[in-house]
Amino acid sequence: MDATPQQHAAAVRDRFQNALLASLAFVALLGAIFFAGPWLGDTQAWSLVPQSWPGLVGVLTAPLLHGSAGHWLGNSSALLVLGTLVGTVYPKAALRALPVIWVLSGVGTWIIGRPSFHIGASGVTHGLLFLLLFLGLLRRDRAAIAAALIAFFFYGGMLLTVLPREAGVSWEYHFSGAVAGIVAALIWRRADPQPPRQRYSWEDEEEAANPLDDADILEPPRPQDVPVLWHRQHPPQGVVLPFRPRVNPGREGPDGPA
Cβ neighbours for 134, distance < 8 A, ≥ 6 positions apart: 181, 182, 185, 186, 189
Q: Which helix (H) or strand (E) holds 257?
A: strand 256-257
- How far is Cα 104 from Cα 14, in angstroms, rounded to an integer? 30
In angstroms, rounded to a whole number, what is the distance separating the alpha carbons of residues 45 and 67?
Answer: 14
pLDDT in tens, 67-81: 899 999 999 999 999
- For the chain, the domains span 5-187
Q: Is the pLDDT of residue 55 over 60?
A: yes
Q: ∠139-145-150 over CA atoms, to 5°?
A: 140
pLDDT (tens digit, 9 = 90+) per residue, 168-221? 889 999 999 999 999 999 999 999 988 776 665 655 666 666 655 555 556 677
Rounded CA-CA distance 76/189 in Å is: 26
Q: Residues 118, 58: contact at Cβ < 8 Å? A: yes
- Is CATH 1.20.1540.10 the classification given to domain 5-187? yes
Phi and psi angles of residue 29, each rounded to the nearest 5 degrees, phi first: -65, -45
3 state SS for 153-167:
HHHHHHHHHHCCCCC
Name the band, by pLDDT with cuts 50, 70 and 90, for residue 145. very high
Residue 132 — φ and ψ, nearest 5°? -65, -45
| Cα gap 142→136, rounded to integer Å | 9
- Report the predicted TM-score, pTM, of the whole model to 2 decimal places: 0.75
Contact call for residues 47 and 62 (beta carbons, < 8 A): yes
Strand partners, 253: 256
Answer yes or no: is pLDDT of 35 > 50.
Answer: yes
pLDDT digits (tens, 9 = 90+) for 83-130: 999 999 999 999 999 999 999 999 999 999 998 999 999 999 999 999
Task: Say whether 118 sits in a helix, a strand or coil.
Answer: strand
Note whether 100 and 35 are within 8 A (CB).
Answer: no
- Max alpha carbon distance in the chain (Å)? 123
Q: How far apart are CA 10 and CA 16, in angstroms?
A: 10
- Provide the H-helix boundaries in the chain: 5-35, 37-40, 58-61, 69-89, 91-112, 122-139, 142-155, 171-187, 201-209, 214-218
DSSP 191: S
Residue pair 142/97 in contact by the 8 Å Cβ criterion: no
Separation CA 125–CA 162 (nearest Å): 12
CA-to-CA distance for 208 and 199, rounded, in angstroms?
14
Confidence of residue 258 (pLDDT cuts 50, 70, 90): very low
Is the pLDDT reported for residue 254 higher than 60?
no
Q: What pLDDT, on the 0 to 100 scale, is given for residue 206?
A: 61
pLDDT digits (tens, 9 = 90+) for 212-247: 555 555 667 777 777 777 766 666 666 667 777 776
